Amino acid sequence: MKQLKKLDRRHDTKELASMIKNSKSFNILMCSRPGGDRGPGLTYGHHVKALNQDKNGRFYVNELWSLQDKNDINNYDVLWFYAKGFDPRLYSFLKDNYPYKKFMFGPNVLLDKPDVGAADKWDEWFLSNVEFDLYIDQVEFYNNHVKKFIRKDLVHKADYLDKCVTFDIDPSIIENKDIKYDCLVYSKKRRYDDNYEHFHDGLVGLLKENNISFVELTYGNYKRQEYFDALLQSKCCINMSLDECPGIATYESMFMNTPIIGSPHNTPSIFNQDFWVHDTDYMTSKYLKRKEDAHNKYYEKIVSFLNGGIEMPVSPREYILKHAGYERYANDAYKLMLEYFN
């Protein structure tokens, strides 16, 4: 396995053993993680930090590839597979040798195509063979789809745990934005979004036609600092993805105090539902399908916001600090584990 940088927080073996005996703490061994520095990888990083930095000391999180000896696995009571793609032999080894451990999976394990089930051979293997105590997704909407395809005799429980986010940034920078644009157009096409070009070109055309200034960034083609700079220069952000689960970009936008306009499917944890655009229809053959006039609906919502037609009882940043900060994440994770593992 690839050797990654070890986590900052450390306990010796004796201290770990002592923590396991304490029913109010959980020792978690991460057994898989997403690669790269895009959304899933960034979300995983926040996940580990939030639990290891828990001010109440209720968690100790380490990574399997950081262990010096396989016997150290005995020091952990929860084995958590965070992302798909791990070697089936790893799961089989752990399940055969540590059947008394709690096995936890998600959120980046299933499903690339939640409407139809398995997207590839690996998914088929997972759905047919993997037994676990708890599967989690990041929103209830997706968790309900996962429940349709996993074998009921292999699953004990399924639930959801929303993501978290925080950054080291001077609050005065956020409070004193240098606004240059009416909106940031965040362009992201999903694999099953057949109407994306029609939607994108229609909305961009309306913005240009009506002199609404904007800057556009396309997923996978920008540096993170570019995104943060654009958020600080824009009055609002337009999430154009058909579904996001929600993406980390949604949380980052609100953290930078930039309201985000999107659908209930790409911004389910949005701080104010008045920013939602109901632009999709449920389908039987596909997961979601965007309505033909979706660009008009988005445009109307943008104009309403720019003209002061949407009230904000709290700022996006206030909301995200309260509902998606590290403390909230640790509290929710702890409640889940107490409910299912204790």
Give CA–CA dist 307/100, Å, rounded. Answer: 59
Domain presence at residue 120: yes
pLDDT of residue 246: 66
Same domain, 108 and 235: no
Same domain, 97 and 145: yes
CB–CB of 274/237 below 8 Å? no
Query: Which residues sit opposite 17 in a β-bridge?
Result: none
Half-sphere exposure of 145 (CA within 13 A, CB side): 22
What integer best gives the mean pLDDT of the chain? 81
Domain presence at residue 299: yes
CA nearest 47: which of 28, 74, 24?
28
Q: Indicate the DSSP class of residue 132.
A: B
Domain presence at residue 72: yes
In the chain, what percentage of residues exceed pLDDT 90? Answer: 35
Q: Indicate the DSSP class of residue 113.
A: B
pLDDT of residue 230: 96
Question: Could you give the number of structural domains in the chain?
Answer: 2
Least-confidence region, from 71-75, 261-265, 319-323: 261-265
* CATH (domain of 144): 3.40.50
Of the pLDDT bands very low, low, confident and very high (cuts 50, 70, 90), residue 100 is: very high
pLDDT of residue 9: 33
Give CA–CA dist 297/130, Å, rounded. Answer: 43
Domain presence at residue 8: no
C-alpha separations of 114 from 93, 141, 277 in Å: 28, 10, 22
pLDDT by residue (tens digit) across 12-36?
445 444 544 455 789 999 999 887 7
Of the pLDDT bands very low, low, confident and very high (cuts 50, 70, 90), residue 234 is: very high
**pLDDT for 142 beyond 80:** no
* CATH (domain of 245): 3.40.50.2300
Give CA–CA dist 66/73, Å, rounded. Answer: 11
Amino acid at 271: F
Give CA–CA dist 232/247, Å, rounded. Answer: 19
CA nearest 199: which of 300, 291, 266?
291
Same domain, 124 and 179: no
pLDDT of residue 202: 94
Of the pLDDT bands very low, low, confident and very high (cuts 50, 70, 90), residue 219 is: confident
**DSSP strand pairing (102-108 vs 78-83):** parallel
Question: Alpha helices of the chain — where are they, by DSSP H?
Answer: 13-21, 39-52, 88-97, 121-129, 140-149, 171-175, 196-209, 224-232, 248-255, 294-306, 316-323, 326-341
Same domain, 34 and 150: yes
* Position with higher pLDDT, 201 vs 12: 201
Looking at mean pLDDT, say which of 94-103, 121-130, 155-164 comes out highest.
94-103
CA nearest 111: which of 134, 83, 133, 132?
83
**pLDDT for 121 beyond 90:** no
Give CA–CA dist 62/80, Å, rounded. Answer: 10
10 Å CB burial of residue 233 (0-12, 13-18, 19+) is: middle
Domain presence at residue 2: no
Same domain, 238 and 196: yes
CB–CB of 61/30 below 8 Å? yes
- Mean pLDDT along residues 93-118: 81
Domain presence at residue 63: yes
Same domain, 206 and 313: yes
Same domain, 213 and 103: no
Domain presence at residue 4: no
Both tokens of residue 15?
């201290």
**pLDDT for 7 beyond 50:** no
pLDDT of residue 307: 95
**pLDDT for 285 beyond 60:** no
* Position with higher pLDDT, 247 vs 203: 203
Domain presence at residue 37: yes
Same domain, 34 and 75: yes
Query: Which residues sit opposite 276 in a β-bridge?
Result: 262
**pTM metric for this prediction:** 0.79
Residues of the domain holding 65: 13-163+326-341
